[in-house]
Amino acid sequence: MPVTVTDLRTWKAAGRRFPMLTAYDHPTAQILDEAGIPVLLVGDSVANNVLGYETTLPVTMEEMLHHTRAVSRGTTNAMVVGDMPFLSYQVSIEEGIRNAGRFLKEGGAHAVKLEGAMVELTEALSSRGIPVMAHIGLTPQSVHAMGGYRVQGRGEQAARILDEAMALEKAGAFSIVLEGIPMELGREITATLQIPTIGIGAGPHCDGQVLVITDLLGLGAGRYPKFAKPYANLRAQISEAVQAFARDVEAGTFPDEEHSYT
């Protein structure tokens, strides 16, 4: 049985911290699952990290389901969370329920994630057996409304974000991602809620921490956000490997006998 919403609640009560990572494809999901990462998020960040879009806004339900299926097929122990893309849940409760259901029914996900204070929809999904991971603070689908990727919850905004967190917990969310907020607010929300908080740029006091896998592996071409820590430099390693292959081909040293049939 994969990690469940009950496990996460138990970990929170026991003060056990946990990691979450984004995964977008089958081999990465297998590696993360085997490494014991308990929660894999098929993030809509697939849009700007894998599919070459500028923002997360263009990614579609069909694209998200395609990646969610690949991740689900590569996972045995981890909980798989499908990230609902822009406009798949904002138009009406009915459309939100139908699209969320598709992540479980067609994508093999165990839960969905929604950005923003979608209190009514969270209640509707939770009461229909669709577990909801909420996501507040810096919500990338609202990049244009926020005027860019800006830290949220400074000064007077803090009380509003705390209120949103409490309302989402009350509505039935089983966990909540806190993105791009001051660490003091991350600590206050974490201390207030019974459900686990999962931080990304929300300081060290959250119950869990999430990173985008391409940031963690150092696959990105540009600058990394302040909160992202590259634990490897795979971009350089991949470049070295393919250049070594190209040199061997040009020199006629690949394939050698070992890699040829008689």
Tell me whether residue 67 or residue 69 sits nearer to ligand KIV (CB atom): 67
Active site residue 240: no
Shortest Å distance, C-beta 260 to ligand KIV:
43
219's torsion region: left (phi>0), alpha (psi -120 to 50) or beta? alpha
Tell me whether residue 33 or residue 83 sits nearer to ligand KIV (CB atom): 83
Which residues, numbered 177-206, are part of the site for ligand KIV (CB under 6 A)? 177, 179, 200
- Is the torsion defined by CA of 217, 219, 225, 226 positive or negative? positive
Distance of CA 51 to the CA centre of its chain: 15
Tell me whether residue 115 or residue 188 sits nearer to ligand KIV (CB atom): 115
Which residues, numbered 93-152, are part of the site for ligand KIV (CB under 6 A)? 135
Residue 210 engages ligand KIV in binding (rule: CB under 6 A): yes
By C-alpha distance, which of 229, 178, 230, 169 is closest to 202?
178
Query: Among the candidate windows 10-18, 38-46, 142-150, 162-170, which touches ligand KIV by CB under 6 A?
Result: 38-46
Q: How far is CA 189 from CA 8, 82, 162, 233, in A?
A: 16, 24, 6, 34
Shortest Å distance, C-beta 201 to ligand KIV:
9
Angle (CA) 17 28 142, round 5°: 70
Residues near ligand KIV (CB under 6 A): 22, 41, 43-45, 83, 135, 177, 179, 200, 210, 212
